Structure 1
Amino acid sequence: MGRWLKPDVYPLIAAMSFVTGMCVFQLTRNVFMNPDVRVSKSNRQSAVLDNADEGQRYSQHAFRRFLSTQRPEVFPALNRFFSESSSAGDK
């Protein structure tokens, strides 16, 4: 096994494991929480589901609600430093 798994490949294995985990998470989330996915037969019988509130809960999850209250800045402290004028420099 040692000759097949070289240290040069570790970053590639880490990146591929992370991406695979993200894909599995998203697919699992869609199967269990998406209002448009019908797994049980009772939900598949109706052609159109009246589930607007369920769709609203799915699309406006907690992380999206948190991000909607935040300012769209990458480095807020750095932005404030360069955007605010200093009192000594204005005179």
Structure 2
Amino acid sequence: MAAKIPSYKQWIKPEIYPLFLAVATALSMGGFVMARSIAVNPDVRISKQDREAGVLENYKEGEVYKNHRLRHYALKHGPQIMPSLNNYFSSYSH
């Protein structure tokens, strides 16, 4: 009689750990965006008093929400992943 393989070893193999990591990263990023939108977004009103206020003209609060720290960091740096390698090949003459 053959030994029975535990069900977790049958379905969870080391080859699929990167898939688990990718899915966990995507879920955590989505959760962060949802939590940030609910907690900080000036257009989201959770309490009844805020909802009764209707549409608020809060442009300053919207600008603060839009220009967060990560956006400031990204705007200061160029959109290159490897700038030294890109500069090397762009300055290469045939």
Q: Which category describes the TM-score, using the shorter chain as reference length?
A: 0.7 to 0.9
Q: Which residue of structure 2 aligns with residue 34 of structure 1? A: 41
Provide the alpha-carbon RMSD of the alignment.
2.1
1:61 counterpart residue number: 68
> Any stretches of 5+ residues in structure 2 without a counterpart?
1-5
- Choose 31-40 or 3-12, whichever is displaced more: 3-12
Offset, 1:75: 1.6
Aligned positions, number: 86
Matched, 1:22 2:26: no
Deviation at 1:36, TM superposition (A): 0.5
TM norm structure 2:
0.76
Supply the distance in 1 between the matched residues of 2:83 and 2:21 (Cα, whole angstroms): 31
1:47 is paired with a residue whose SS is: coil
Runs of 4+ in 1 over 6 A off after TM superposition: none
- The alignment-based identity, stated in percent, is 35
